[in-house]
Structure 1
Amino acid sequence: MDMSAEVIVVGGGVIGLTTAVVLAERGERVRVWARDAAADCTSAVAGGLCWPYRIEPQALVEEWSLRSLDVYVPLAEDPSTTGVRLVPGAMADVRADELGRWAKAVPELREEPQGLRATVPLIDMPRHLAYLRERLAAAGGTLERRTVRALGEASAEADVVVNCSGLGARSLADDPAVHPVRGQLVVVENPGVEEWYVATGGGAAAETTYLLPQPYGLVLGGTAQEGDWGCEPDPATAAAIVERCARVRPEVASARVLAHRVGLRPARSAVRLEREPVGGGGVLVHNYGHGGAGVTVAWGCAEDAAGLVAPRSAEGLRTSPSGG
């Protein structure tokens, strides 16, 4: 690749911004095209707990998660700037041997009868997205509000395009394997909960129970509704979320509701991270399909995507399965 060439990253969520930061800090001239305002993107709605969740392939996810963890731990030294904190909590119904190397790398992880206790990054996503935008600007990158109807629009303006469009890749990359997994949550005034809690086992497959203490309130969840495109909060679902969370922490039942939120996780049978040549000698790199774990794997995937944009050698390039 000509090092003076421009790179356009399509997508302004956590995957797109992190990828853009890595590229810009390696000396590439980077523009990010984002359809949504920062507060409206799926990443801004996410609870922000770093844990491999609803994402494949497992072997690569493990590596991406570990490499991302290595970035988040030092970022947690300045949470007011980065939005990253290291917070203790409990993951019910999970054993350490299910997590491979992740279990050995996570600080203070230990098994208990009901599951695991661990200290992991818990990220204030609005603050973290702002931090990534600021870091991108400091590295010389730019962010533009732009609706992209075809990836060819970006290829017409730059030799290299990185497709981090999340759910938008269903149409932009003509990939029907990309589908939404709807997540609804409730934000309440925190009645004193200082540790996170997640339980995914038992009950309906579409239901989870989690409590995530964020600076802006206590995030209660949640749902995992496959193929549901609905973006409006459902009052009955919200009531059920609060009821489930109140079984864990009864004081939640009377906490004042601050907000109802819905996000559509961009799920796929496997993350698509691969390089594709386009006409005229251009390059298209795909980096999408991260499901419910985009923030968990963001830095590992960004580093691999950057390697595919400007490979230093033929060795070390990682390409995940394209999936069905």
Structure 2
Amino acid sequence: MASAHASTASAKKEIIVLGAGVVGLTTALKLQQQGTYQVAIVSEVLPSDPKTIRYTSRWAGAHHVYNAVNETNQHQLEEETFNVMWELSSSGSDAEECFLRIPQTEYLFVDQPTPEPLEKMPHFRYLKPDELIPGAKSGLTFSTVSIDVPIYLNYLLTRFLAQGGRILRGSVLHINQVLEGGTGLFSGGSKDDPLPAALIVCVGIAARFLGGVEDKDVYPIRGQTVLIRAPWVRFGRTETLDEEGNKTYIIPRRSSDVIVGGTRTPDDWFPRSRPETTLDILTRAFALCPELAPPEIRATRTPTLDDVMPHIVGEGCGLRPARKGGFRLEVEWIEGASVRREGRIPVVHNYGHGGYGYQISWGSANKVLELLNDALGTSQSS
């Protein structure tokens, strides 16, 4: 006799999400929460795995600071995401430990964007001329959240599983494999699993190579960072150096680690930290934030970069999955994708967010849900 859970699940439409980065996990959770879909994530790499260059989300800073460029309504999606993260970071939330609410200061060595999207942030104000650092044209300050990404990714995963979602480890060469074989192809799946009613593609940089997608507009923007154990740093600080978006940034995490960066190099696939880049990052970061040195040293003498070195706990680099023309968030109908089924199958693409995956994650998930409901004629449950 089938279990009540199996009976309930069978009444729902099967949805497969490819990818378990922050975009894939958030999207899968949002779909599962609706109640009309049974969602399974298929991914080769999972949040609890050792760090790898193939999984960018583990390398992120990350904090929520609105992007100056408004491509494809990105500001709206960023605003939706910030509202969710601000609520999740509130005292008493089950996700509180994933976030740190911080005062953030931005120094701009370039012209101020107009309009300034950051004016929507809590406690926003422009800096006075005497508050600027040498060379900065303008500056601003506001409150935001930083995200402790290893903890947050596992939070999303466990929350998804608690809602009844499934996760399967597997490598996919072509989307037609999944459209024809479903979750039954992977360990933990079954030949009796229903075929998916739709497929959601959240594979990041792999969208360039995945068969059936092979989006050559996807390219990496390599970022390198240094991780410093500095529990006394409880503020964020960034300087925007040029029109290409190169920045120096200080991002504290609730765990007492501080991410300092960074670099922004298009089409650079090198998978490991470069020592000369690490030194450049540290030099810039210390000039921007001498408070990286321990307070007991700063209380007795002028600190130097050598005072920071013993507190370095790691280095890293990630390949931000950017896309020429902006991220892809749309439905594609696949005709005759399977010999086992007839008709068209909707494939929803949600990738190419570059360095903005975290701060657009909930907004893009909301859009995927809207697109999927329209494609399948599903009404949102109350």
Counterpart of 2:250 in structure 1 is: 211
Does the CA contact (< 8 Å) of 1:9 and 1:31 recur in 2? yes
Does the CA contact (< 8 Å) of 2:88 and 2:94 recur in 1? no
Residue 139, structure 1, aligned to residue 163, structure 2? yes
Among residues 165, 177, 184, which one is paired with 1:153 in the alignment? 177
Residue 108, structure 1, aligned to residue 123, structure 2? yes
Distance 1:98 1:32 in 2: 40
Q: CA deviation at 1:308?
A: 1.1
Q: CA deviation at 1:138?
A: 1.4
> Counterparts in 2 of 1:1-324, with a 5 A limit?
4-27=12-35, 28-38=37-47, 39=49, 40=51, 41-53=55-67, 57=71, 60-77=73-90, 78=92, 81-82=95-96, 83-93=98-108, 98=114, 100=116, 102-112=117-127, 113=129, 114=132, 115-156=139-180, 157=182, 158-172=196-210, 173-190=213-230, 192-202=232-242, 205=244, 207-214=246-253, 215-252=255-292, 253=305, 254-255=307-308, 256-268=311-323, 269-279=325-335, 280-311=343-374
1:267-315 CA-to-partner distances (Å, cap 9, x unmatched) read 012110000111232110000010111111111100101111122899x
Does the CA contact (< 8 Å) of 2:223 and 2:263 recur in 1? yes
TM-score by length of 1: 0.89
- Number of residue equivalences: 310
Residues 196 and 220 of structure 1, relative CA distance in 2, 3 Å threshold: same
Q: CA deviation at 1:5?
A: 2.0
Query: Secondary structure of the equivalent of 2:27?
Result: helix
Query: Secondary structure of the equivalent of 2:171?
Result: coil
1:238-272 CA-to-partner distances (Å, cap 9, x unmatched) read 01100001102225322221000111000012110
Does the CA contact (< 8 Å) of 1:56 and 1:271 recur in 2? no
Query: Secondary structure of the equivalent of 1:108?
Result: coil
Aligned residue identity for 2:229: E
Does the CA contact (< 8 Å) of 1:11 and 1:165 recur in 2? yes
Aligned residue identity for 2:78: S
Query: Secondary structure of the equivalent of 2:217?
Result: coil
Distance 1:272 1:71 in 2: 22
RMSD: 2.3
Residues 55 and 76 of structure 1, relative CA distance in 2, 3 Å threshold: same
Gaps of 5+ in 1: 315-324
Residues 97 and 209 of structure 1, relative CA distance in 2, 3 Å threshold: closer
Q: CA deviation at 1:80?
A: 7.1
Q: CA deviation at 1:52?
A: 3.1
Give identity over the alignment, percent. Answer: 30
Residues 50 and 181 of structure 1, relative CA distance in 2, 3 Å threshold: same
Distance 1:99 1:125 in 2: 30
Q: CA deviation at 1:84?
A: 2.2
1:97-119 CA-to-partner distances (Å, cap 9, x unmatched) read 5355x434210111114411011
Q: CA deviation at 1:81?
A: 3.2
Query: Secondary structure of the equivalent of 2:314?
Result: strand
Residues 121 and 43 of structure 1, relative CA distance in 2, 3 Å threshold: same
Residues 287 and 6 of structure 1, relative CA distance in 2, 3 Å threshold: same
Query: Secondary structure of the equivalent of 2:63?
Result: coil
1:149-198 CA-to-partner distances (Å, cap 9, x unmatched) read 11112212212100001101111211110000000000012162211111
Distance 1:42 1:181 in 2: 11
Structure 1 ranges of 4+ moved more than 4 A: 94-97, 204-207
Does the CA contact (< 8 Å) of 1:55 and 1:267 recur in 2? no
TM-score by length of 2: 0.76
Query: Secondary structure of the equivalent of 1:264?
Result: strand
Does the CA contact (< 8 Å) of 2:119 and 2:125 recur in 1? no
Aligned residue identity for 1:37: L
Does the CA contact (< 8 Å) of 1:10 and 1:34 recur in 2? yes
